[in-house]
Structure 1
Amino acid sequence: MDSTEIAELDAEALLALYRRKALSPVAVVADILDRIARFEPDINAFVRVDADRAMADARASEARWAKGAPKGLLDGVPVTIKDLIDVEGLPTRKGSLTTPRTPASRDAPAVARMREQGAVFVGKTTMPEFGWIGACHSPLTGVTRNPWDLSRTPGGSSGGAAAAALLNLGVLHLGTDGAGSVRIPAAFTGVFGLKPSYGRVPAYPASAFNVLAHLGPMTRTVTDAALMLSVIGAPDARDTTAWNTPPPDYRIGLCDGVANLRIAWSPRLGYVRDLDADVEAAAAKAAARFTELGAIVEEVDPGFADPTDLLRTIWYAVSATIVDGVPAAERAEMDPGFLRIAEAGRRYSLADYLAAQGRRVELAQTMIDFHDRYDLLLTPQIPVPAIEAGVVTPPDGRFGEEWLAWSPYTYPFNLTQQPAASVPCGFSQSGLPVALQIVGPPRRDDLVLRAARAYESLAPFATLAAPRGQKRKRRPPERPPPDFDAFR
């Protein structure tokens, strides 16, 4: 099997070939490492590539498959981990020059579950500093770029994971989502991203953003995401807020379809003013296709007011707490934009924060009531295609200076903690991906996956073999710090 064919394979196909001894994990990982070496200078998606350990793990997997004794559901499947999540033996830098270089002493729960099932860890992916924005540039690693158009961001904060997923530089990719950080980059790059119900995937250490923060899969196919969630959703005693029940196999019933489901389509959630015409048209067409699948689709808004102020209170206050935990002498090395929102966050009192949490619960109840009438909610995912790389908001000024203004569809469902997925549904006239959001009732991750798979069956997701406009020569990152440890 040549490199081109390997680059097209998803986890389901890889495992079938391993089972038949028609392909080796060693060949797959070697191919991925080769493509990272070729593409990384242009996209800058990795903080570190652990090539030696990846090849050693691939050889161990190859030996198990040769004996017909795979270790688990993911044996030999290459994965990447966002650099907000601990991987034993590697530092967790969080996009910041101010974080320790000390390697993590143990795997985070989701990483541990994948390791137990035989996954091969390729490396850690880039993110903005402490995940503060929906773009992907940081003082630590510079600018990460969108493979569809290198002048654009892949989105954030799980931006490196999205770029790697699109190019199949690893097959399963673990991201985090505190206000859209899985779904924004999934939309901007045209991959599938799922923010599971809060607590379905245990987290440790706990996120500073607490009840807003979810861990979820980013993949090329819905089936791969279902497989991944079936593994990473297993309980872990270190997270006292996570579910203590084993996850189902989310692949079971995945193809049951959406016939007779009641689905709400809300193009503007009742308050979104600025929506790109290409995005609205593509998302509306995608929503309408659910009628072809047998669902009952009605245009209706969920009935809540714009929750930006609510999210801002929590997001900015927590950002202030993060920055205040960094020694004052080191703050000059931090992202100036992050420092500005932290300064704004210091103006919120504890009473403000607690009141916001109370309003968050009220918003969640509104959506619970809404789902008594509708099984699913569909919206556009992001109101614009991918914005320019290296900026916080589009330079034309239409969204002002705050990134939350161009991501109004994502954070409401972090506040409510319900499952939501970003599903590729076409392209803008400029050739950039557009996505549909599927939102489900709390703890109905299976239903969101089913709906996403039903749509995928009608409109398979586009893929990309190499970055468009790739210069095919090595170049340094825009801002290489002294301790930059990426694979070069």
Structure 2
Amino acid sequence: MTNVQEETRAPGGQVTGPAALTATELLDRYASGELSPVTATEAVLDRIAEADPRINAYCLVDREAALAQAEESAERWRRGQPKGLLDGVPTSVKDLFLTRGWPTLRGSLGVAAEQDWDAEAPCVARLRENGAVIVGKTTTPEFGWKGVTDSPLTGVTRNPWDPSRTSGGSSGGSAAAVAAGMGPLSVGTDGGGSVRIPAAFCGIFGMKPTYGRIPLYPASPFGTLAHAGPMTRTVADAALLLDVECGSDSRDWSQLAAPEVSFRAAVEGDSLAGLRIAYAPTLAGAEVDPQVAARVARVAKLLAGLGAEVVEAAPEFEDPVDAYHTLWFTGAAKVVERFGPEQRARLDPGLQEVVTEGAAKSALDYLGAVDTRMALGVLMGAFHETYDLLLTPTVPIPAFAAGVEVPEGSGLARWTGWTPFTYPFNLTQQPAASVPCGTTDEGLPVGAQLVGARHRDALVLRASYLLERELLREGVVSTAPVG
């Protein structure tokens, strides 16, 4: 029998033992009796205690509750009666999701911790129903408003690859936790790239499924821009987590019907033959760092090697950032509309700025942005009649300094200025994933984005899975945690 405590999956890495295992690997070892959920949970909790002081990915860790859940899971496995699909897997959730018994402070000094926390978000309820061990909650910028993760409440979350760099955001805590071996699974939110940006910066897989695929409650003040999505070190783990999270919840009137075939089945296969993939080195004229561009160009060749017809082509649209800002900033204003002067004064200064701008928008401004959004949706619908998938960089630059909204010296005003490839597909509600595809010369991760037509989540997962397999074969990426 393998000594799990001594093995390592990352040559030269520092993370060993159960904390280094994926969810799929943990479940296999639980089933064989080789490993206990208690041992795995203890290993993850110990890893959090060791790594999180320098990363700051968690805003809440409940060791006692996690170990109690793990003991219950271990007993179910001993009886041969595991509960659902994730029994005993240490998992985290972003601190925007209501979690029964724990405060959901959303990175804000304006939310009172001392209140009843009885409601639970659908994604958290599905985790419990499937036996996941929820170890804690991950950091977010205040109300998830920006593409990096720092807040007045929890401070700066850092990148495990280089703690002087940002983890990205707004699901930066989730990405950093998964990347560093502080739990193999996390659930984040994505309203403009908030799963994909930190996935790219932290070298993990992250997916924004079609809007409505994962039910949300309460409804986001950012409306139908906001999605929930899996954040994992492998595509197989993401497919597993997505199968769990697609469970129905009547509190979300906009949820989609559950898919007829599991997403785990969708990642099977060895070829992309018959698919047409558009490779867009850029969109709307955005500049891309040469090293990022080179890594994504290699992805295009790998996809062609898997049997797809890859054509250099891009959807022809102008940057929809003004429309996105109107929708996003008015949502931010809605978030804090009941805050008094004292609460507003304690907001993140950048959030105060966008709240002021959003509050000044008119109904006609908002409806004009909706028109732009619908036109972009029509354009992308037509584009996917020709191309099954669109390949782009996830983010055109590697991770920059932690604690700032935009790179120093960039001249940019807002976070949207450096992530032009993500928010367009929140406007259109399409599934989009970030697949780690290598590192820069400085050792910073790069992500490739695969975008599908609405409801083609399974196709995005399958292409991501096969791409990941090729990148692993070539030694370009690893699924091991960052030491």
Alpha-carbon offset, residue 255 of structure 1: 2.4
Structure 1 residue corresponding to 2:231, chosen from 218, 236, 243: 218
- Partner residue, 2:64: 52
Deviates more, 1:316-325 or 1:452-461: 316-325
Per-residue deviation, residues 175-219 of structure 1 (Å, max 9, x unmatched)? 000000000000000000000000000000110111100000000
Structure 1 residue corresponding to 2:284, chosen from 263, 266, 270: 270
Contact 2:178-2:481 within 8 A present in 1 as well: no
Contact 1:96-1:139 within 8 A present in 2 as well: yes
Per-residue deviation, residues 107-162 of structure 1 (Å, max 9, x unmatched)? 21111111101111000000100111100100010001001001001000000000
- Partner residue, 2:9: none
- Partner residue, 1:420: 432
Matches within 5 A, 1:459-470: 459-460=471-472, 461-463=477-479, 465-467=481-483
CA distance in 1, matches of 2:140, 2:89: 23
CA distance in 2, matches of 1:396, 1:85: 35
CA distance in 2, matches of 1:176, 1:189: 16
CA RMSD of aligned residues (A): 1.2
Letter of the structure 2 residue corresponding to residue 87 of structure 1:
T
Alpha-carbon offset, residue 246 of structure 1: 5.1
- Partner residue, 1:337: 350
- Partner residue, 1:83: 95
Contact 1:230-1:248 within 8 A present in 2 as well: no
Structure 1 residue corresponding to 2:408, chosen from 387, 395, 409: 395
Alpha-carbon offset, residue 355 of structure 1: 1.8
Structure 2 residue corresponding to 1:108, chosen from 96, 99, 121: 121
Deviates more, 1:319-328 or 1:448-457: 319-328
Letter of the structure 1 residue corresponding to residue 320 of structure 2:
P
Contact 1:376-1:438 within 8 A present in 2 as well: yes
CA distance in 1, matches of 2:258, 2:231: 23
CA distance in 1, matches of 2:31, 2:480: 27
Matches within 5 A, 1:452-463: 452-460=464-472, 461-463=477-479
Contact 1:236-1:244 within 8 A present in 2 as well: no
Residue identity over aligned pairs, in percent, reads 50
CA distance in 1, matches of 2:420, 2:231: 21
- Partner residue, 1:409: 421
Per-residue deviation, residues 382-419 of structure 1 (Å, max 9, x unmatched)? 01000110000001224x12110100000000000010
1:366 aligns with 2:384: no
- Partner residue, 1:159: 172
CA distance in 1, matches of 2:109, 2:359: 22
- Partner residue, 1:473: none
1:62 aligns with 2:78: no
CA distance in 1, matches of 2:444, 2:315: 28
CA distance in 2, matches of 1:295, 1:247: 25
Contact 2:181-2:482 within 8 A present in 1 as well: no
- Partner residue, 2:262: 249
Contact 2:274-2:309 within 8 A present in 1 as well: yes
- Partner residue, 1:311: 324
Letter of the structure 1 residue corresponding to residue 83 of structure 2:
K
Deviates more, 1:276-285 or 1:340-349: 340-349
Structure 1 residue corresponding to 2:215, chosen from 169, 177, 202: 202
Structure 1 residues 351, 201: closer, same or farther in 2, change over 3 A? Answer: same
1:133 aligns with 2:157: no
Q: SS at the partner of 2:436? A: strand
Deviates more, 1:323-332 or 1:427-436: 323-332
Contact 2:320-2:372 within 8 A present in 1 as well: no
Deviates more, 1:7-16 or 1:194-203: 7-16
CA distance in 2, matches of 1:270, 1:293: 28
- Partner residue, 2:29: 17
Q: SS at the partner of 2:303? A: helix
Alpha-carbon offset, residue 165 of structure 1: 0.6
1:169 aligns with 2:185: no
Point out 4+ residue stretches in structure 1 off by more than 2 angstroms: 244-248, 460-467
Q: SS at the partner of 1:215? A: strand
Q: SS at the partner of 2:52? A: helix
Alpha-carbon offset, residue 308 of structure 1: 0.7
Letter of the structure 1 residue corresponding to residue 272 of structure 2:
V
1:451 aligns with 2:463: yes
For CA contacts below 8 A with separation 6 or more, give which structure has more relative contact order. Answer: 1
Per-residue deviation, residues 205-238 of structure 1 (Å, max 9, x unmatched)? 1101111000000000000000000010111100
Structure 1 residues 466, 280: closer, same or farther in 2, change over 3 A? Answer: closer
Q: Given the two structures, how large is their TM-score scaled by the length of structure 1? A: 0.93
Q: SS at the partner of 2:448? A: strand
- Partner residue, 2:10: none
- Partner residue, 1:378: 391
- Partner residue, 1:2: 5
Alpha-carbon offset, residue 466 of structure 1: 5.0
Q: SS at the partner of 1:252? A: helix
CA distance in 2, matches of 1:292, 1:82: 37
- Partner residue, 1:438: 450
Alpha-carbon offset, residue 269 of structure 1: 1.5
1:97 aligns with 2:109: yes
Alpha-carbon offset, residue 8 of structure 1: 2.1
CA distance in 1, matches of 2:109, 2:65: 25
Q: Given the two structures, how large is their TM-score scaled by the length of structure 2? A: 0.94
Structure 2 residue corresponding to 1:37, chosen from 49, 73, 86: 49
Structure 1 residues 363, 465: closer, same or farther in 2, change over 3 A? Answer: closer
Alpha-carbon offset, residue 247 of structure 1: 5.9
CA distance in 2, matches of 1:245, 1:11: 22
Contact 1:199-1:241 within 8 A present in 2 as well: yes
User: How many pairs were matched up?
Assistant: 465
Alpha-carbon offset, residue 324 of structure 1: 2.4
Letter of the structure 1 residue corresponding to residue 19 of structure 2:
A
Structure 1 residues 189, 153: closer, same or farther in 2, change over 3 A? Answer: same
Deviates more, 1:345-354 or 1:180-189: 345-354
CA distance in 2, matches of 1:305, 1:8: 43
CA distance in 2, matches of 1:352, 1:339: 20
Structure 1 residues 423, 389: closer, same or farther in 2, change over 3 A? Answer: same
Deviates more, 1:71-80 or 1:1-10: 1-10
- Partner residue, 1:298: 311
Q: SS at the partner of 2:464? A: helix
